[in-house]
Amino acid sequence: MSAGVRLFHNEPPWVFELVSLGYPYYVGVNCAFLLFWIIMRKWWYVLVVLVAMALSYSPFFDTFGFGSPREIGENDKTLRVVTYNVNAFNYWGWRERPTIQAQVFSLLKQSQPDIICFQEYHYDKQEKYQLMDSIKQQLGLKYVAVHKLHYIKDRYFYGTVIFSRYPIVQKGTLDFGNSGNSSHWADVVRGGDTIRVYNNHLESYRLHSENYETIEQIASGENFEVEEVKNVLQKMVQAMQTRNAQAILLTKSVQDCPYKTLVCGDFNAPPYSFTYHIIRATNNLRDAFLETSKGVGGTYHWKFLSKRIDFILMHPDFTPVSSTVHREKISDHFPVVAEIIAP
């Protein structure tokens, strides 16, 4: 663990992070009991349930949005931001890649963003369709910051990318050590002001198909292998510990940044996690979804409850106007589009 991580001593044990994953079910069960006891007119039990729910009010309001889109004033300067984990444009299903990239571009063309943060971006110079060229030439986002996790010189790379309509004057990365995930930033100059944009792809659980099958067996009450459960838990615990350390490094970087910030990307953690809490709360960042939308706003689609793990957070001086999760199943993540007032 790096020196930057050692500056913080409030990192919770992994057990609390693991238990927090059941928070949506906790809310659902409490709501069911609350309704039941109200119908039964058992007011003492109603009070007990309300107290239990009150004790978890903070993650509740981090998880569920109760906001509405704002009006844009005549003199307001707005900025439209997209964050999107594109899952390498279905790299292993290479026959569909041109179609998938074209679908991503079509969605971006409708959104007309000023800044795009891509995670799991795959680029191959030998492919006929080049999304990067289309974004630069047709959308006018000609300034690019790339962090290459894997690459073949002058031909191929895989990593994270920031596109900007406005000049990028400086860029950098956070040192995650020996990790397949990353966080990098770009300083964007707009109207004389500099904004630092963080594009994050934090540690994932790295679960395989057999791991998901085990989780489904547990959820459905089917028989399961104990060793498989241990394997899943081991992966999850290791990912949580690594991701929490990454979140602390990111938080320290945002604290030290001399500019107003946008913190975007795939956190691989829900809003009731330590990862989200320390990144947002420590820097008093505003969450575009919570302030302008309603519901859960899930950004990762799978067989269980949809989870919001992709975020657009911003400096408190910025004002979110709207936040939209587009439900097109192009990747395993949904893109998030936010419009903000950035004076």
Percent with pLDDT over 90 in the chain? 54
- Is the pLDDT at 5 greater than 60? The verdict is no
Q: Which pTM value belongs to this model?
A: 0.88
pLDDT band for position 95 (50/70/90)?
A: low
User: What value does the mean pLDDT take over residues 274-300?
Assistant: 94
- Is the pLDDT at 56 greater than 70? The verdict is yes
pLDDT score, position 139: 96
In this structure, are residues 177 and 150 in contact, taking their beta carbons and an 8 Å threshold? no
User: What value does the mean pLDDT take over residues 19-33?
Assistant: 79
Mean pLDDT of the chain: 87
pLDDT score, position 163: 98
Least confident range of 8-22, 184-198, 298-312: 8-22
Q: Three-state DSSP class for 89?
A: helix
- Is the pLDDT at 3 greater than 70? The verdict is no
Q: What is the pLDDT of residues 178-219, one digit of tens each?
A: 888 999 999 999 988 999 999 999 998 887 777 777 776 666
Residue 178 structure tokens: 């020996």
What values do phi and psi take at 12, rounded to 5? Answer: -75, 155
- Is the pLDDT at 68 greater than 90? The verdict is yes
pLDDT band for position 305 (50/70/90)?
A: low
Residue 321 structure tokens: 């106007």
User: What value does the mean pLDDT take over residues 151-173?
Assistant: 94
pLDDT score, position 55: 77
In this structure, are residues 123 and 132 in contact, taking their beta carbons and an 8 Å threshold? yes
- Is the pLDDT at 315 greater than 90? The verdict is yes
User: What value does the mean pLDDT take over residues 163-170?
Assistant: 98
Q: Three-state DSSP class for 203?
A: coil
Q: Across 165-251, where does the E strand assignment appear?
A: 168-173, 182-190, 193-201
Which secondary-structure segment (H or E) carries 211? helix 209-220
pLDDT band for position 6 (50/70/90)?
A: very low
CA distances from 168 to 115, 141, 185 (A): 11, 11, 10
pLDDT score, position 2: 39
- Is the pLDDT at 14 greater than 80? The verdict is no
Angle at 303 between CA 289 and CA 108, to 5 degrees: 45
What values do phi and psi take at 141, rounded to 5? Answer: -95, 75
pLDDT score, position 7: 39
pLDDT band for position 4 (50/70/90)?
A: very low
Least confident range of 55-69, 153-167, 202-216: 202-216
d(CA 25, CA 15): 17
